[in-house]
Amino acid sequence: MGSTITEKILAAHCGKKIVEPNEFIESKVNMALANDVTAPLAIKEFKKLGIKKVFDKNKIALVMDHFTPNKDILSAEHVKFVREFAKEQKIKYYFEGGNVGVEHAILPEKGLVLPGDVVIGADSHTCTYGALGAFSTGVGSTDIAAVMATGKVWFKVPASLKFILTGKLNKWVSGKDIILYIIGLIGVDGALYNSMEFTGATCKKLTMADKFTMANMSIEAGGKNGVFTPDEATEEYLKDRAQRNYKLYTSDKDAKYLKVYEINCSKIKPQVALPFLPSNAKDASDIKKTYIDQVVIGSCTNGRIEDLRIAASVIKKGKKVNSNVRTFIIPATPAVYLQALKEGLLTIFIEAGAVISAPTCGPCLGGHLGILASGEKCVSTTNRNFVGRMGHVESQVFLANPAVAAASAIKGYIATPDEI
């Protein structure tokens, strides 16, 4: 019996020829990451161990992205604590201020996470890097402390679900719509502690931005990780980025899967996930007129340059966002911000009446820069719409792709680009 890509990567990192689902292993780690919310606890636990030095100062990334620019005294103290630890340990990859980006966008952009890697992070959306053909997953802060000390982590090897994607994508349909459709199909626990492996002819037509979004949101179906087989697009993306050598893995033809899903993507229309679960996905065109108060375009799912180009193509020069809708555009990294500036996208957004933010996770988790009041509704390109996710427990978040979010900002209610 053959092995899946996930099983092959984990086997290589624990010194075995093969591993099997439900087997417990201890794996070496290529990169461990934490942010300004999760790193302080990890550092405190690391210090309790009495160990003087981290296992490898070049295999740890600390990204101050969630509550930065610092929103209050407590967040400033957290960042100061992490900054001092990074200096003390000579951590090479510390991101703050002008060089910070949303962690799951900036690490692949900098070539710090690569195909064949095992990557763990004290953030549930660490599974993003499966887009590159890595095994990546979120863990707790105490796990990160142990990894900073030893360079290793234990896993139960996940069984794999296979999603075969076929068909031509409809206009305005992106990776965000595909993953929302899949989550709607299988539910928020449909992949519980399983690997979600995406394959099929349509995968070759997806952009890397699409793949990052889909791998990122595998956790919203309960997945342990999401993963794509690296292809020409992957290697092109890494050509001028990769900071070290990497290895490409593919699943064997006779690999064993817990279940196989065949998804005809030509049947997928732009999706919107209604409150209060990502699985509550419906065709955007089927949603009755729902007036909104805010739109957020950004985050680790849809804050890349491809996403901003799509949003700008909907808004276009001369268009104005609805006067009743606060609209926030958040480039995911400084490089995305600069590219959007060069292409004139920021001009389109500003002239339309949108607010441009520095790279941050802020509003996605109800941190800052876009908190919702009681009863307010927001269309967001983020990845979660749980109760109270972006503010008051009586607010509502509707998840959508950048095109739908931009159209909704203009119309003042949930709308598709075809209505513009």
User: 357 and 226 share a domain?
Assistant: no
User: 315 and 405 share a domain?
Assistant: yes
Low-confidence ranges of the chain (pLDDT < 70): none
Instruction: Print the domain residue range for 62.
Output: 5-241+258-263
User: 126 and 172 share a domain?
Assistant: yes
Q: What share of the chain is helix, strand, coil (3-state, %, to 5)?
A: 40, 20, 40
Q: Is residue 61 within 8 Å of 190, Cβ to Cβ?
A: no
User: 55 and 105 share a domain?
Assistant: yes
Collapsing DSSP to helix, strand or coil, 316 comes out as coil
The predicted pLDDT at position 420 comes to 83
User: What is the C-alpha separation between 271 and 402, in angstroms, rounded?
Assistant: 11
Distances (CA, A) of 291 to 119, 120, 302, 409: 41, 39, 22, 10
The predicted pLDDT at position 68 comes to 85
pTM exceeding 0.85 = yes
What DSSP element (H or E) covers 73?
A: helix 73-89
What DSSP element (H or E) covers 236?
A: helix 232-238
- Tell me if 252 is assigned to some domain: no
At 361, the amino acid letter reads C
- Tell me if 253 is assigned to some domain: no
**pLDDT single digits (tens) 179-190:** 999 999 999 999
The size of the chain, in residues, is: 420
The predicted pLDDT at position 317 comes to 79
The predicted pLDDT at position 419 comes to 87
Q: Is residue 403 within 8 Å of 293, Cβ to Cβ?
A: no
User: 70 and 198 share a domain?
Assistant: yes
User: 32 and 128 share a domain?
Assistant: yes
Tell me the CATH number at 277.
3.30.499.10
Q: Closest by alpha carbon to 192, among 233, 220, 171, 212? A: 220
- Tell me if 194 is assigned to some domain: yes
User: 133 and 281 share a domain?
Assistant: no
User: What is the C-alpha separation between 356 and 293, in angstroms, rounded?
Assistant: 17
Domain total of the chain: 2
Can you read off the two tokens belonging to residue 106? Answer: 């900036």
DSSP letter, residue 90:
T
Q: Are strands 152-156 and 135-138 parallel, antiparallel or unpaired?
A: unpaired
Can you read off the two tokens belonging to residue 270? Answer: 């732009």
User: 283 and 227 share a domain?
Assistant: no
